[in-house]
Each structure stands twice: as C-alpha cells, then as structure tokens.
Amino acid sequence: MLLVSENARQGDPAQEQFSISELSQEFDVTTRAIRFYEDEGLLEPHRQGRQRVYSSRDRVRLKLILRGKRLGFSLSEIGDIIDMYDSEPGEVGQLQYFIEKISVRRKTLKQQRNDIEVTLKELDGIEKQCRKSMTHLDQP
C-alpha cells in the first residue's frame, strides 16, 4: 500500500481530480453556482455514477469563469471567451472570426482599464481631501 496524501486521486498532476465541494471551498463559490455553470454549458465534469468529478481542466475553466465575473461579463459572454481558449478551430473562417472577437474583447478590456485608472486617481483625490479635513478637525 502506498502512502498518498489525503486521497488517491493524484499522481500525474495533469490528472488531478476534484469534488464539487473542494472547488466550492477553494474558490469560495457555492455548489449551486458551480452546477448552474454546468447547466449553462460552461462546465462538463465527468461522472462517477451520479457524482461530478472535475479535472484540472475543469478547474481552470472555473477559474476563468470567476475572473470573467469579476470583470463584469455575463455568463454567456464568459462562455464565448472560454471557448476561445480551448477550442481547436479547423477552418480559416473560424480563425478570422476568432481574431475579430479577440479584438472586440480587447477593446472592452482597455476601456475598463482606462475607467479603472481614472477612478483610482479620483479616489486619491478624495482621500487627500478627507485627510485634509480630518487634520483640520483634529487641530481647530
């Protein structure tokens, strides 16, 4: 009998397996949400009987989903994005279409990045005003 840590689902690191609750805890999302992402076609884990078994590829996809959410994209947009990541397109037309999509996505992201820079600077200004007001109130 070999000594393995915690469970026997390791070995080839590319073949790690995860339960829904493990992923739920690691990424701090509810299992309900994870199943919902599956309903929406964003994940399709294997099954051992009825139980879902997630591969490390599934885990990466979940990571991408959550990052997309933090950036304010809808699940269907996220679906499009993820499909860009790991699909193996055969035709040139597909690739052209891909590149256009990438360009659109890039524009949105740059807009967001700009919005963030502006907002961060404004926050600096507001904070300075706050601190100024506070010292005034401290020493009247």
What is the DSSP code string of 68-87? HHHTT--HHHHHHHHHHHH-
Are 41 and 75 a contacting pair, CB within 8 Å?
no
Binding mask 66-95 for DNA (x = CB under 7 A): ---x----xxx-------------------
Are 85 and 67 a contacting pair, CB within 8 Å?
no
* Dihedral angle sign, alpha carbons of residues 25, 28, 33, 35: negative
Among positions 31-70, residues that touch DNA (CB under 7 A) are 31-33, 35-36, 40, 49-52, 69
Q: Which of 10, 15, 30, 133 binds DNA (CB under 7 A)?
A: 30
Could you tell me the CA-to-CA distances from 90 to 13, 61, 83, 98 in Å, in that order? 29, 22, 14, 12
Is residue 112 part of the contact set for a copy of itself (CB under 8 A)? yes
Binding region for a copy of itself (CB under 8 A): 67, 70-73, 84-85, 89, 91-92, 95-96, 98-99, 102, 105-106, 109-113, 115-120, 122-123, 126-127, 130-131, 133-134, 137-138
The residues binding DNA (CB under 7 A) are 19-22, 24, 30-33, 35-36, 40, 49-52, 69, 74-76
